[in-house]
Amino acid sequence: MPLSLPRLSRRRLPRPPRPSVRPRGPRPRLRLPGRRRAAVKLLVLGVLAAAFAAQALGALLPHVPLLLAASAASLAAEGALYRWQRGMVSLFAKSHADVTVRHVLRDLLLVVGLLRLGEQHREGAYAPLVAGLLVFYALHWAIQAVSVLVRRTRTLPVVTRNIDASALRLTPAPPALLRRPGHRLAAFGLPATAGLLATAATDAPVYGAAGLALSLALALTGLCTLLLRLLPGRRPAGEQEVLEWFDAWLARYRPTVGLYFSGGASSAYQANMWLEPLAGLDGRPVIVLRERHMVQRIAATDIPVVCLPKVSTLMRLEHSTLRVLLHPSNSGKTSQVLRIPTIKHAFVNHGESDKLSSCNPYAKAYDEVWVAGPAARERYALAEVGVEDKDVVEIGRPQLDAVQPYAGPPAPGAFTTVLYAPTWEGWDGNPGNTSVMEAGENLVRALLADPGVRLLYKPHPLTGSVDPRARAADLRIRELVRTANRERGGPRPDACAAGVLARRAAELDRLTAAGFRSAADQAERMLRQPAPRPGRADAVRRATAAWEEAHWASLPEWEHQVVADVRPPLYSCFNRADLLISDVSSVISDFLASGKPYAVANTSGLAEDVFRKSYPTVAAATVLAPDASGVPALLASVRHPELDELAGERAALALRLLGPAEPPSRERFAGAVRELSAAAVRHRARRAERLAADLPVPGPRQEPAGPSAPRPAPEPRGRV
């Protein structure tokens, strides 16, 4: 069975024209078409440049009205920039023209204008204002230097969640304004700028002096506030003290099994899908992260979370009771934790599909590879990537308990709910990775053309992250859904359903959200997230189920949906759908647990028979061509089960992909953890024996009475 797909030439379908209606997707930076976005950016840039040029001209002439008007226009453009064009802020920063530089330039031109006016009137009266402005900027740089010191004292070597960290003397973070130099300068310097403008307009230095006095007072207050944070009694614990505290926590908690994860912000779902199976184990679980930003992206859980950014801190796990680490993904930093010889490592993946990434050669670095069923075992054997069959363990998919089984076709007169969940484009540019670009719009048009269909469109979170064409196609599909909803129309649920959803959402947010203020830093979050109360996990589970039920009840039955948020999750969409249309991905394997019909879009350029042979997960699917011509027949087989000829094949394929239903997957998962933990214990015992054999016997050295016999060479050390 081939595992690599040849790139074959294929006929490209004509792309439909872009919709004239402005998209309203979740990406604010893409709300305007490309030309309009570029025009707006050029307009903002032009206004700022013209304002500074006019201000310079007004200062050099000097011309007071021009100087005042240009300064006011520059300040107004700054406000519009931060209110409506936040993307331009980073663009200016990359060009080394950030808000600090612009503020300094604005004040410098005002000073030049005042000095030019002083040449005509009274230069001596304006000189103190210039000196005061210089003192203000000196205070600004002093605040920045002290804020860096404060940030360093609050950057701990270990970041935690669900652990009582009160012993580390943590305190709330300083105000956000004191930690952002550009915003701070704009806020603290505004009175001085306003005073100088008033002085230029009225030729009265008292206004400039008053504005400067207020700015200096604000700067001194901010500096003193930060300096107090550096007093010995106000600082958090130092690095060595934090590490000793972490070692003590490891000794008290005595973790046995952990989930290790490293990745970008958009990949948090890969770890989150393993939280419930990990929490259901009998041992003492822990979540080990490497990136600080990932701590708050892990979903609500009662499991202790520790982030160990440095390798030296990570290696402290070698002397802990941790026996097993589960790895849902591969990353560059995974190789660092694999160096710990006292821990056994199992690769559990974040989903299984027929893609080559599901049998990556990196997997041979782990002690064991845990897969769902026999198909994955065969995939590794055929791939010949160095994973031995004895190291492959079938555990099923313990997450799939949330997927409800097939309950029959949609009732007569009811809408047929179709879930279109394409995957993303991937890194290798294979045309068969995603159907979004080649077939997505055709599939969605064919589904929307059926008056009895309700579409749920749930794109992969990484769609468009590599190929801009995928992002553009995703936006066009969303616009198709919105247009179809406007044309269809229909009754909406009463206000009672919306009220129930609001109450359920408030309850779920109360249980899962930590309630951080916007200025909170990582040290403050550690302080606000101690060990959770007993029973919170069950309460979150019940609140989540109640929210999902209220969410679907609050939506009109006729309305198509674009599901792009974290909630509702994919499995909740499974339970609402009568049919899945997807690509070759792990979504298919998970959906097979429901027993419902599914279809796969073939955008690989392969003939259908070759496509089925190349991808075992397609064996029980209806294969759809890029032109979506097979959608009407597919919908008919869903509504009339007697036309469904693949039901038996789906059951057999589910057994092959997911393994047997008995014993349950959670039991097989727990059993695999116990067996690997026992192997880790035996490994540690053997290692301790070998290390003890190499060490000298403690006590006073005694010289032998007779000639000494030659000592045998010590057994070489190494990982057993």
Range 301-323 average pLDDT: 96
Tens digit of each residue's pLDDT (9 = 90 or more) over 535-572: 888 888 899 999 999 999 999 999 999 999 888 999 99
Tens digit of each residue's pLDDT (9 = 90 or more) over 220-242: 999 999 999 999 989 999 999 99
pLDDT at 2: 38
pLDDT-based confidence at 351, cuts 50/70/90? Answer: confident
pLDDT at 10: 35
Instruction: Please state whether the peptide bond connecting residue 568 to the residue before it is cis, i.e. omega within 30 degrees of 0.
Output: yes
Assign 3-state DSSP to the chain and report helix, strand, coil percentages, each to 5: 55, 10, 35
Is residue 716's pLDDT more than 50? no
Is residue 303's pLDDT more than 60? yes
pLDDT at 13: 35
More confident residue, 443 or 29: 443
Element (H, E) at 444: helix 441-448
CB count in 10 Å sphere of residue 85:
18
pLDDT at 29: 39
State how far the Cα of 370 lies from the Cα of 176, in Å rounded to an integer.
Answer: 45
Rounded to the nearest 5°, which phi and psi values hold at 455? -100, 135
pLDDT-based confidence at 696, cuts 50/70/90? Answer: low
pLDDT at 119: 64
pLDDT-based confidence at 203, cuts 50/70/90? Answer: confident
Q: What is the 3-state secondary structure (H, E, C) of 423-443?
A: CCCCCCCCCCCCCHHHHHHHH
The candidate with the shortest Cα–Cα distance to 617, out of 379, 361, 363, 394, is: 379
pLDDT at 178: 94
Residue type (1 letter), 122: R
pLDDT at 706: 43
pLDDT at 113: 86
Tens digit of each residue's pLDDT (9 = 90 or more) over 36-54: 667 777 787 888 899 999 9
Average pLDDT along the chain? 87
Query: Is-above-0.85 flag for pTM?
Result: no
pLDDT-based confidence at 490, cuts 50/70/90? Answer: confident
Residue where the block lists tokens 């106000």: 234
Tens digit of each residue's pLDDT (9 = 90 or more) over 182-194: 889 989 999 999 9
List Cα–Cα distances, 633 to 447, 637, 646, in angstroms.
12, 6, 13
pLDDT at 356: 63
Q: Which of the residue ranges 205-209, 295-299, 508-512 would you say has the lowest mean pLDDT? A: 508-512
CATH architecture of 416-492+559-658: 3-Layer(aba) Sandwich (3.40)
Question: Do the strands 159-161 and 305-307 form a parallel or antiparallel pair, or are they unpaired?
Answer: antiparallel
pLDDT at 688: 86
Is residue 261's pLDDT more than 80? yes
Q: Which of the residue ranges 24-38, 82-96, 447-461, 519-533 would you say has the lowest mean pLDDT? A: 24-38
CB count in 10 Å sphere of residue 11:
7
Residue 54, CA atoms < 13 Å, CB-side half-sphere: 17
State how far the Cα of 686 lies from the Cα of 716, in Å rounded to an integer.
Answer: 13
For 429, the token pair is 């540019």
**What is the percent of the chain where pLDDT is above 90?**
62
pLDDT-based confidence at 11, cuts 50/70/90? Answer: very low
Is residue 695's pLDDT more than 80? no
More confident residue, 511 or 435: 435
Is residue 389's pLDDT more than 90? yes
Radius of gyration of the chain (CA): 32
pLDDT-based confidence at 697, cuts 50/70/90? Answer: very low
pLDDT-based confidence at 357, cuts 50/70/90? Answer: low
The candidate with the shortest Cα–Cα distance to 472, out of 519, 434, 504, 501, is: 434
Q: Which fold has domain 254-396?
A: Rossmann fold (3.40.50)
Q: What is the 3-state secondary structure (H, E, C) of 339-355?
A: CCCCCEEEECCCCCCCC
pLDDT at 78: 83
Is residue 477's pLDDT more than 80? yes
The candidate with the shortest Cα–Cα distance to 453, out of 581, 555, 559, 583, is: 559
pLDDT at 353: 75
Tens digit of each residue's pLDDT (9 = 90 or more) over 104-154: 899 889 888 888 876 655 667 788 888 999 999 999 999 999 999 999 999
| C-alpha 639: how far from chain center | 38
pLDDT at 698: 52
Residue type (1 letter), 685: A
pLDDT at 18: 37
Is residue 492's pLDDT more than 60? yes
